[in-house]
Amino acid sequence: MYVCGPTVYDHPHIGNARSVVVYDILYRILIKLFGKNHVIYVRNITDIDDKIIDKAVQDEITIAELTKKTTEYFHQDMDYLSCLRPNFEPRATDHVQDMINIIDLLLAKEVAYKSADHVYFDVTKATDYAKLSGQSFDELFNSVRIDSSEGKKNPGDFVLWKPAKVEEDVSAKFDSPYGVGRPGWHIECSAMSHKFLGETFDIHGGGVDLVFPHHTNEIAQSRSAFSGSEYAKTWVHNGFLTVNHEKMSKSLGNFTTVKDLINKGIRGDVARLFLLGNHYRKPLDYNDKAINDANQMITYWYRAIEPIEAKTKCNESQISAEFMSALFEDMNTHKAIKIINDYAKEIYLSKTDDIKIEYASKLLSCARFIGLMNASCKEWFYSHVDSDKVEKLIKERKLAKEAKNWPLADSIRNKLLNSDIVIEDKADGSTTWKKKT
């Protein structure tokens, strides 16, 4: 399975996160079906791109510094969402030669051409170019604005290689038979999927916004370069994510990153459950109610198993057939989550401990299968401390004490106590804190 990964120039937003979580579920299902040794999951990192070059200039750092830092953000955020790491995570800049090899093949077959220091792919030479999008060739190009400049033969032709600009950072410049420059975005994925999975592979995933032009162009390049290649046998596309029913965009001020969720104190399991709450192909709306609902649901599950947690058996054999068949139905996580919720209801309704334990074992095993409830009940209910918030309150209390505002200082102490935080004033004037045990 090959999934288009992040372009590392900024913190991942929640739409990016949805895509990663969706393919994480698919990865877990494939492992369950075929065994870990029979699944190869590749997700690339696009570490060369116009957006990266612009952002590095804006932040006054090198491209290498920017991509290293944002790759770390991406990993931290995906760990917060309990996503498994793919088997391979190739970086585009490590595979420029592989891209050049494919461009050479395309030039030799005359489906690509050099013009105005660029190398372009001639879209009129690809068979079934528009097929993935389900549109006709004309419809496809009528529906989008195409840049027809810079010596293209056809307005829809796309860049395989573009020349570097003199002022650009040296790390944005690569040698090639077509001059110093860098690859186009689409060729990156054709080259990296070929490198790790061969000419034809099973599944290609990504957001629905990538169908055209990105995935359409990947298919055109790879099938043209490798005669007889099917490229991906199956395409999987996840739906859009909106914020309060509006498209997420920086200009609308509703741009939400995973870091924003963390800063709001939303726990990883809550965010993950929210992201799985609708069928992956349908749109999903992020709003406060949806997050509250996810929080309530998972807390309800933890409350259900808490009294019998020690006796709960969590293992593969406890994962129910009805739960798996929901996931086998085109990855119906919405239905699978409802099944888990029904187990929680059954625990509350059951009269005997044996039956409660049976349902709790199913609940926990199914929830963990989709990457949820990895914490114990104790950790879930008692160890979630937002240390930044505690430190901030301790600082406010110190200022209150300095201003001899004793009522305020006391009320802050009590507020912390109510959150099970005990503070201790030391002789040197500092204050330490710990969780109440």
As measured in angstroms, the least distance from the Cβ of 2 to Zn ion is 8
CA distance 174 to 319: 50
Which span (2-10, 143-151, 281-289, 407-415) binds Zn ion, by CB under 5 A?
Answer: 2-10
Which residue ranges make up the annotated binding site for ATP? 250
As measured in angstroms, the least distance from the Cβ of 111 to Zn ion is 19
As measured in angstroms, the least distance from the Cβ of 164 to Zn ion is 22
271-286: b or e for each residue (b if 16 or more CB lie within 10 Å)? bbbbbbbbbbeeebbb
As measured in angstroms, the least distance from the Cβ of 294 to Zn ion is 29
**Residue 173, phi-psi category: left (phi > 0), alpha (psi -120 to 50), beta (remainder):** beta
Size of the site for Zn ion (CB under 5 A): 2
> Which secondary structure element, helix H or strand E, spans residue 421, and what is its range?
strand 421-425
As measured in angstroms, the least distance from the Cβ of 233 to Zn ion is 17
Site for Zn ion in 175-214 (CB under 5 A): 189
Nearer to Zn ion by Cβ, of 5 and 156: the residue is 5
Nearer to Zn ion by Cβ, of 91 and 334: the residue is 91
> Which secondary structure element, helix H or strand E, spans residue 28, and what is its range?
helix 14-34
**160 CB neighbour count, 10 Å cutoff:** 26
Q: How far from 52 is each of 8, 61, 89, 90, 399, CA to CA, in Å?
A: 7, 11, 18, 17, 42
Nearer to Zn ion by Cβ, of 5 and 268: the residue is 5
DSSP E strand boundaries for 24-76: 42-43
Which residue ranges make up the annotated binding site for Zn(2+)? 4, 189, 214, 218
As measured in angstroms, the least distance from the Cβ of 213 to Zn ion is 11
Nearer to Zn ion by Cβ, of 70 and 222: the residue is 222
Pairing of strands 200-207, 158-163: unpaired
CA distance 91 to 402: 53
Does the footprint of Zn ion cover residue 1 (CB under 5 A)? no
Nearer to Zn ion by Cβ, of 156 and 206: the residue is 206
Which residue ranges make up the annotated binding site? 4, 189, 214, 218, 250
Site for Zn ion in 81-110 (CB under 5 A): none
CA distance 231 to 236: 14
Does the footprint of Zn ion cover residue 4 (CB under 5 A)? yes
Nearer to Zn ion by Cβ, of 186 and 272: the residue is 186
Binding stretches for Zn ion (CB under 5 A): 4, 189
